[in-house]
Amino acid sequence: MLFRLALVLPCLAAGFVAPSQQTPRSTVLSATVEKELVPPRDLDELSKELEGTQQLYDNVQTTYGRYPLTMVSGNGCRLTTNDDTEFLDFVSGIATCALGHNNPALAKAVSDQMQKVHHVSNLYYVPAQAALATWLCENSVADKAFFCNSGAEANEAAIKLARRHASNNGITHPVIISAHQSFHGRTMAALTATAQPKYHKGFGFGGKMIPGFEYVTYNNIEELEQLVEKIVSEQPADGKQGLAAIMMEALQGEGGIKPGNPEFFAKARELCDKHGALLMCDEVQVGMGRTGTLWGYENLDVIPDVFTSAKALGGGVPIGAMMARGDAATVFGPGDHASTYGGNPLACAAGVAVAKYLSDNNVLANVRARGEQIREGLEAVAAKYPTVLGDVRGWGLIRGVEAISDDIPAGKIVGAAMEQGLLLVPAGTNVVRFVPPLIVTEAEVNEALEKFEKAVQQLAN
């Protein structure tokens, strides 16, 4: 109650007048009332409380289904809970903690920057922002970068850029094509691009999401060609409809670890070139080295006009980026898009530290080697339990194995692995996802495979 009162007081002080005729005098707040603030709980004490964990979250909105674990520390690929239970972490904050936990280089960069200046806004020059943008462009097809705070924001920026680019070309009804079973974020435009009805439920207007989005089956060339032809041939009476962009994940992560098909992306590139549209790759989960190349599109032999990044970009420190090349890089001008926190010194210092670590330690070679090790290991386990596990797929250190038994879904396997001390995460409803830190060792992969096999064996029996 005191916190709510504190939020209301500035409004009253600014001259806001409540409708006193409709409000009982006893409930009218006064700006002259002085209340002492309730101090926050001590974090160390809070983390040690083993009982009533759910009750501690009474003031947190219930937007997440959480496992009954409280992580209090980590080191490398290990996490430790408040009851001193250690887990081998093959989730890495959902493909985010690329350098693992408590990485000395990342911790030092963030600590050093925090002691200098952590935020000033984009009213001024930020050297770390320039350094990170330069590294991103020198190691990709991009010419310019826009910084924000998350993958959803990066994708929103890409969507806005695509619409503005189309508008500049005389298109009043721009259409963006994305794929069924995609995932691009939870903000409204990114959510609309996410072609999964379960995420749309309750957020539409008249049963519809934001207009201007159409969907195809991922990797289906014929569907893509037919939809593009439909878009450009059907014209509204009050303007011009056209293809603004084709927006695809290089590998569908939440959709079940489905790699893109090079022929499909080549056709998408061809259609974008033909119709003056932008090819946009969502690299939020697969970018920054997770696939064994720095960017997922490199596995597809295609050059996008726009691609997005977040998650591993800051190694766990919140940061997102939207990169663009050629004409797409000059679409936005001052005032066309912005972010208060985007590209702040603290986040960019983390990004530069991650970039330097990847560059100096040949991390991509490790990703490729450990990725093959996981693939071979999962295929061996799947061969032993053919009624439980199916297809093994993915690139580098984003791997998935299908759970094909109706009685043993992916979530159940993840739970059994947790009992063995291994953290995994489902991808979609029937795929178990392996996304360890990019610095995972050969021994840790072997340990993870052993724990995973024990979990599957336990369920199969």
Convert the pLDDT of each residue in 303-327 to its tens digit: 999 999 999 999 999 999 999 999 9
Same domain, 320 and 417: no
What's the rounded mean pLDDT across residues 287-294?
98
- Say whether both 200 and 344 belong to one domain: yes
Residues 64-76: what's their mean pLDDT? 92
Does residue 115 carry a pLDDT above 90? yes
Check: CB of residue 249 under 8 Å from CB of residue 237.
Answer: no
**pLDDT of res. 247:** 98
Q: Which amino acid is at 453?
A: E
Closest CA to 313 of 78, 139, 104: 139
Tens of pLDDT along 37-57? 999 988 877 776 655 467 778
Domain-ending residue, one of 296, 326, 360:
360
Clarify whether residues 133 and 31 are in a common domain.
no
pLDDT at 459 over 80: yes
Q: Domain check: are 353 and 369 in the same one?
A: no
Cα–Cα distance, 343 to 313 (Å, whole number): 12
What would the mean pLDDT of 412-438 be, rounded to a whole number?
A: 97
Higher pLDDT, 166 or 7: 166
Contact (Cβ atoms closer than 8 angstroms) between residue 150 and residue 184 = no
Statement: residue 357 has pLDDT above 50: yes
Residues 179, 120 share a domain: yes
**Higher per-residue confidence, 312 vs 24:** 312
Relative to beta strand 258-259, strand 251-252 is antiparallel
Mean pLDDT, range 84-106, rounded to an integer: 98
Question: How far apart (Å, rounded) are the C-alpha atoms in residues 305 and 330?
Answer: 12
Tokens of 143: 């010419």
Looking at 14-150, list the stretches that DSSP marks H as alpha helix, in order from N- to C-terminal side. Answer: 43-48, 92-95, 104-114, 127-138
Residues 434 and 449 in one domain: yes
pLDDT(4) > 90: no
**Residue 212 and residue 328 in one domain:** yes
Give the tokens for residue 181: 């079973």
Share of the chain above pLDDT 70, in %: 91
Tell me what pLDDT residue 26 has.
45
Task: Show which of 313, 335, 360 is a domain's final residue.
Answer: 360
Amino acid residing at 383: A
Summarize the confidence of residues 107-127 as an average pLDDT: 97
Residues 30 and 159 grouped into a single domain: no
Alpha helix (H) ranges present in 282-395?
A: 345-360, 363-384
Show the tokens assigned to 33: 């009332």
Residue 59 maps to a domain = no
Would you state the pLDDT for residue 46?
A: 76
Whose structure tokens read 């890409």? 158
The pLDDT score that the predictor gives to residue 79 is 98
Residue 250, phi then psi, degrees to nearest 5? -65, -30
Domain count, the chain: 3
Predicted confidence at residue 6, as pLDDT, reads 36
Q: How confident is the model at residue 29 (pLDDT cuts 50, 70, 90)?
A: low
Reduce the DSSP state of residue 145 to 3 states and report it.
strand
Cβ atoms 382, 349 nearer than 8 A: no
58 located within any domain: no
- Please, where are the H alpha helices in 73-220? 92-95, 104-114, 127-138, 151-168, 188-193, 197-200
Instruction: Look at residue 15 and tell me whether its pLDDT is greater than 50.
Output: no
CA angle 416-421-427, nearest 5°? Answer: 55
- Mean pLDDT of all residues in 382-407: 98
* Average pLDDT score over residue span 234-253: 97
- Residue 310 and residue 233 in one domain: yes
Q: Which of 36-50, 165-179, 200-214 has the lowest mean pLDDT?
A: 36-50
- Rounded Cα–Cα distance for residues 129 and 125 (Å): 8
Please report which confidence band the pLDDT of residue 3 belongs to, taking 50, 70 and 90 as the band edges.
very low
How far apart (Å, rounded) are the C-alpha atoms in residues 427 and 433?
Answer: 6
Q: Are 85 and 118 in contact (CB under 8 A)?
A: no
- Residues 381 and 355 occupy one common structural domain: no
Radius of gyration of the chain (CA): 24
Q: Which domain holds residue 412?
A: 71-102+363-460
Q: Which residue has the higher pLDDT, 408 or 7?
A: 408
**412 and 298 within one domain:** no
